[in-house]
Chain A
């Protein structure tokens, strides 16, 4: 007892000792088969062709208004006729509110916003009839939190549409590295839709596919353990009539992979591009048959500048075309320098029969009025693109979707703003850019 009492007395005396100090805040500053020869060719760098300014898109802010203190953070946007009324609607991942929102187009150009689901750190929304009941369901990639984090806080959330736009959430994968992308496709050839998943994580991440095994049940298969996957697109890239997966892996890797499918869900990875500039800033890929030869090419932007204090673009930011040359091989083409390039999407914007590319910019020198937040790469001849400035307002556009929202036969654009850095004078959440290009021609 004496010892215990003595110890207690000592303890009382020592309670004056320093408690470990509260630490400083952690404020958010938060291949194709190569040519065999390595003979040097000193090719001139083609100057970026710049065309006259393009005044072919009429912007209209849609959805909820922006409060005086709000800083919109739309991580992703897509277009889909969710209610099957013949008009395209907009679905967006609102990372500021941790919500998936639906902007129903009830009449031409009239959008009404509602919340479909609360999802932490929503990064991407993909629409597909996941349960084959005739309506569009939604596959949501959940980061958990938007800012860098190594915890297993990611999830894949599927929103089941009952046909009357009442959505039931199914969390089919959770307690995993932060999820940045989910897409659907029949990867094992059994007639139902499986999923490809890009787990960005932070220092740890991975790519996997989820095999559908029953109603809202999936079996997980890891494809690759590299941090930083942003996209996991699905398409038949090698023309063998099964679906392959194309991934963009950022962080220090800066690589694009094709996972070639044997038709039964067995995949062989092949790196189709890699930059040895660890600051290349990979931001997005999309797939489109840019050269009209019947196979999907990769449209690739690099413009991310999230890592550093400065949020203006880099001289090497831009848009690339990885030309599919068959058999899972690709040839790299630099198309244009675009500071802060993000979210490229290809469509025949001018109605001339070939595909053009719309690109947004999230990180740019916004103090410079010439800095563009939306540009178009007009395809003027096969594989030849001319850069056209479209808009410098609103700023900080990170995501772009295409769709004929106006029903006039021309693809319109929808953009989302991610306002995580100054200036805050040209804010937007969601903007519809109605395409009038062909009418003006």
Chain B
């Protein structure tokens, strides 16, 4: 009988142990959750943030405290991140990482913040991400950057190489944004590898890599920019640097309600020609910051850049009410009124901007007066713009055009030549210069200049139309006909090209020159 008793006692003891262990397990879980809930960072002072931003952060914080799981705490981190509350975001990401050690998405988010602040800890965070996600091209690229900036060229090259080989990922596209203008992360990794080569003194290798990138992606400003730095003639113009687009960052930005965050990325989208994304961001900024003058100005500029001056005007009027006398706004306001043919109002607005002694105000006033056929006044303002900024190529262009229209062709040609030296890639300046050369009967030069204009902007019908005029002036009617026909192909509603083509065709048919 002893054996069964012993067995029962053993089972009883085991049951007690299991029960205690279970209770301890549950208790530890509760304690751990309480500890983690307590570890969720406290809300920082939100007082200076817009109400909509405060609401988003508070709601995310409440959800994280109620259910302290990786997803909710990480979401709280994202809310802080999107509100530019970096310490809060870093703290929340750390807790999310502790809750889900195998999920490195929160580590990547933390790395984004560390990178933003120039913190050395970014390297370790990115090593963790790339170890767990070896195909994460953006993480490899960022790791390459972090190593490069810290002088570890071999590590940087290795990371850039992994980024270059990583599979392409689709750009983030929120509802309403049908297309994005982006370049693959591999292209940026190529820039990184070129910089490594340069740092190692291998300029030739850098040149080969950059030239290949510029050929593969003709509008990729970073490659053209670095080529230009190397003073290589293969890149006559660079455009502004555009950082890589990261779907994780864009998804975060798309949830932001903070005008600084949204407008920063709208600004980058402007540089990249990423117009639909720019408008998404600007409109989101407006939704949550309707009274923010920076947002209002961003909307005005967006509408102006996308040829919606009437809408732009309403935003400029709102801006003027918020920041009366702001110089930049006065100039923009004047420009828009000019675009709307409200020339007298444009003149009055631009005159208010003159005390700043800014070339832009003088130039814009010149254009308005020019359009009002007040040439002498317009000319004076163009010349004042050039006195303030001797390299104002637009003022040169308009001054020279006006001089040529008034028969001062030789002087106009001199000014055009200065303008083209400053902006060798401006197609419209080439067209105007070509017109002046045609007027001066320097036909061969005119054809050369207008052909350059065609190559600079192949989709613009005007260089073709003016090339046709030059050919016609030379008596070369067949080539004139071809040029006018090409202009009409590009714009079937180009009235002058149509009229010119009809006349040249009639001349050719009649045998009359």
- The answer to whether A22 and B513 have CB atoms under 8 Å apart is no
- The answer to whether B432 and A20 have CB atoms under 8 Å apart is yes
User: Which B residues touch A315, using CB under 8 A?
Assistant: 84-86, 116
- The answer to whether A27 and B469 have CB atoms under 8 Å apart is no
- The answer to whether A310 and B263 have CB atoms under 8 Å apart is yes
Q: Could you tell me the distance in whole angstroms from the C-beta of B365 to the nearest C-beta in chain A?
A: 10
- The answer to whether B356 and A38 have CB atoms under 8 Å apart is no
Q: Could you tell me the distance in whole angstroms from the C-beta of B139 to the nearest C-beta in chain A?
A: 12
User: Which B residues touch A332, using CB under 8 A?
Assistant: 118, 120
Residue A23 contacts which of B230, B394, B466 (CB distance < 8 angstroms)?
B394
Q: Quick check: is B136 within 8 A (CB to CB) of the other chain? A: no
- The answer to whether B260 and A310 have CB atoms under 8 Å apart is yes
Give the interface centre of A25, A153, A423 by most chain B CB atoms within 10 Å. Answer: A25
Q: Quick check: is B145 within 8 A (CB to CB) of the other chain? A: yes
- The answer to whether A22 and B367 have CB atoms under 8 Å apart is yes
Question: Interface-forming stretch among B3-11, B21-29, B178-186, B294-302?
Answer: B294-302
- The answer to whether B94 and A271 have CB atoms under 8 Å apart is no
Residue A45 contacts which of B87, B231, B360, B504 (CB distance < 8 angstroms)?
B87
Question: Interface-forming stretch among A160-168, A276-284, A343-351, A402-410?
Answer: A276-284
- The answer to whether B360 and A204 have CB atoms under 8 Å apart is no
Residue B151 contacts which of A19, A32, A41 (CB distance < 8 angstroms)?
A32
Contact digits for A15-38, partner B, Cβ 8 Å, 1 yes 0 no:
011111111111111011110001
Q: Could you tell me the distance in whole angstroms from the C-beta of A157 to the nearest C-beta in chain B?
A: 16
Q: Quick check: is A43 within 8 A (CB to CB) of the other chain? A: yes
Q: Quick check: is B233 within 8 A (CB to CB) of the other chain? A: no
Question: Interface-forming stretch among B30-38, B59-67, B164-172, B471-479?
Answer: B471-479
User: Which A residues touch B94, using CB under 8 A?
Assistant: 42
Q: Quick check: is B76 within 8 A (CB to CB) of the other chain? A: no
Q: Quick check: is B115 within 8 A (CB to CB) of the other chain? A: yes
Q: Quick check: is B58 within 8 A (CB to CB) of the other chain? A: no
User: Which A residues touch B122, using CB under 8 A?
Assistant: 276
CA distance A247 to B261 in the complex (A): 29
CA distance A428 to B420 in the complex (A): 39
Q: Which of chain A's residues 203-245 have a Cβ closer than 8 Å to chain B?
A: 203-204, 225-227
User: Which A residues touch B230, using CB under 8 A?
Assistant: 225
- The answer to whether A22 and B474 have CB atoms under 8 Å apart is no
User: Which B residues touch A69, using CB under 8 A?
Assistant: 355-356
- The answer to whether A19 and B435 have CB atoms under 8 Å apart is yes
Chain A facing B: main interface SS: loop
- The answer to whether B121 and A280 have CB atoms under 8 Å apart is no
- The answer to whether A25 and B117 have CB atoms under 8 Å apart is no
- The answer to whether A310 and B121 have CB atoms under 8 Å apart is no
Taking residues whose C-beta sits less than 8 angstroms from the other chain, chain B's interface range is 35 or more
Closest to B260 in A: A310
CA distance A320 to B293 in the complex (A): 31
Q: Quick check: is B152 within 8 A (CB to CB) of the other chain? A: yes
Q: Quick check: is B96 within 8 A (CB to CB) of the other chain? A: no
* Total number of A residues with any Cβ neighbor in B under 8 Å: 84
Question: Interface-forming stretch among B12-20, B210-218, B322-330?
Answer: B322-330
- The answer to whether B149 and A31 have CB atoms under 8 Å apart is yes
User: Which A residues touch B432, using CB under 8 A?
Assistant: 19-20
Q: Quick check: is A112 within 8 A (CB to CB) of the other chain? A: no
Residue B124 contacts which of A20, A40, A225, A311 (CB distance < 8 angstroms)?
A40
CA distance A25 to B358 in the complex (A): 12
Q: Could you tell me the distance in whole angstroms from the C-beta of A314 to the nearest C-beta in chain B?
A: 7
CA distance A276 to B466 in the complex (A): 47
User: Which A residues touch B438, using CB under 8 A?
Assistant: 11
- The answer to whether A21 and B428 have CB atoms under 8 Å apart is yes
Q: Could you tell me the distance in whole angstroms from the C-beta of B394 to the nearest C-beta in chain A?
A: 6
CA distance A277 to B268 in the complex (A): 13
User: Which A residues touch B360, using CB under 8 A?
Assistant: 25-28
Contact digits for B355-390, partner A, Cβ 8 Å, 1 yes 0 no:
111101001100100100000000000000000011
Q: Quick check: is A441 within 8 A (CB to CB) of the other chain? A: no
Q: Quick check: is A57 within 8 A (CB to CB) of the other chain? A: no
CA distance A309 to B265 in the complex (A): 11
- The answer to whether B332 and A27 have CB atoms under 8 Å apart is yes
Please judge, given known A-B contacts A34-B151, A309-B298, A309-B301, whether A7 and B473 are in contact too, CB under 8 Å.
Answer: yes
Q: Could you tell me the distance in whole angstroms from the C-beta of B332 to the nearest C-beta in chain A?
A: 6
Q: Quick check: is A52 within 8 A (CB to CB) of the other chain? A: no
Q: Quick check: is A61 within 8 A (CB to CB) of the other chain? A: no
- The answer to whether B397 and A22 have CB atoms under 8 Å apart is yes
User: Which A residues touch B90, using CB under 8 A?
Assistant: 45
- The answer to whether A27 and B335 have CB atoms under 8 Å apart is yes
CA distance A96 to B388 in the complex (A): 10
CA distance A28 to B145 in the complex (A): 31
Residue A423 contacts which of B121, B323, B335, B496 (CB distance < 8 angstroms)?
B323
User: Which B residues touch A277, using CB under 8 A?
Assistant: 115-118
Residue B513 contacts which of A3, A41, A96, A275 (CB distance < 8 angstroms)?
A3
- The answer to whether B263 and A96 have CB atoms under 8 Å apart is no
Q: Could you tell me the distance in whole angstroms from the C-beta of B436 to the nearest C-beta in chain A?
A: 10
Q: Quick check: is B200 within 8 A (CB to CB) of the other chain? A: no
- The answer to whether A70 and B394 have CB atoms under 8 Å apart is no
Q: Quick check: is B283 within 8 A (CB to CB) of the other chain? A: no
Please judge, given known A-B contacts A203-B228, A226-B229, whether A309 and B297 are in contact too, CB under 8 Å.
Answer: yes
CA distance A47 to B45 in the complex (A): 13
- The answer to whether A31 and B150 have CB atoms under 8 Å apart is yes
Extra 17 A-B pairs, beta carbons < 8 Å, given A23-B428, A314-B264: A7-B472, A11-B438, A17-B465, A22-B401, A23-B426, A34-B150, A38-B127, A145-B389, A153-B390, A153-B391, A255-B149, A276-B146, A278-B241, A302-B118, A334-B118, A422-B328, A423-B323
Which A-B residue pairs are the 8 nearest by beta carbons? Answer: A40-B124, A274-B149, A69-B355, A6-B513, A31-B151, A276-B145, A20-B431, A315-B84
Listed A/B pairs (28) with beta-carbon separation below 8 Å: A3-B513, A6-B513, A10-B503, A13-B503, A18-B465, A20-B429, A20-B435, A25-B360, A32-B151, A38-B155, A39-B124, A42-B97, A43-B121, A70-B355, A144-B391, A147-B389, A252-B243, A276-B148, A277-B116, A278-B241, A310-B294, A312-B260, A315-B84, A315-B85, A316-B86, A421-B328, A422-B323, A422-B329
